[in-house]
Structure 1
């Protein structure tokens, strides 16, 4: 989890203006299961950010811990609540 949270600190990978949501959560029933939810201004902004050498290095470091397939959705928010800032 700590490695995932480095993305939001300092000059982390998701601190740019195109990342509008980056949430790391843990399963209540299985503490070994971690969820990451991201929201980007555009699909292209997401692709550009994660094509960088820094992003590729982080992905390579996380790869041994990942199981299953990523699920991509083209969701457009219509309401709700998001508190600004970093939660640790």
Structure 2
């Protein structure tokens, strides 16, 4: 299963709080937003897997995992990358592959994710 599919119904296994520099001038950043559903009672364990070992993903500007306050089994994942290529390269990282393998049994489903083009904001340079 691809990380993009894993993480956001399009996008994850995947990540938080890495702060690299933004894309070079003129090159668009790459973003993903999606909702994942954990099996009942497994959300906390799934979140922990998604957050472990995500600081060393080259090109990852932001990887946010958030609880859905209206659904005890749902999480939202928002990613910002310096480029689409950096995101694609992250799929081959051993830590990402391991997270996907470990998290897969805890996932009940995923909504369709959405690709975005971040243009700026707090935390993005």
TM-score relative to the length of structure 2: 0.51
Q: How many residues align?
A: 77
**Higher strand content, 1 or 2:** 2
Aligned equivalent of 1:61: 102
| Structure 1 segments of 4+ aligned residues over 6 angstroms from their partners | none
Stretches of structure 2 lacking an aligned partner (at least 5 in a row):
1-46
RMSD, matched Cα: 2.2
Aligned equivalent of 2:51: 5
TM-score relative to the length of structure 1: 0.68
Partner Cα separation in structure 2 for residue 69 and residue 51 of structure 1:
23
Query: Does 1 or 2 have the higher relative contact order (CA < 8 Å, sep 6+)?
Result: 2
Stretches of structure 1 lacking an aligned partner (at least 5 in a row):
7-11
Closer, same or farther in 2 for the Cα pair 1:50/1:3, shift >3 Å? Answer: same
Would you say the 8 A contact 1:21–1:40 is kept in 2? yes
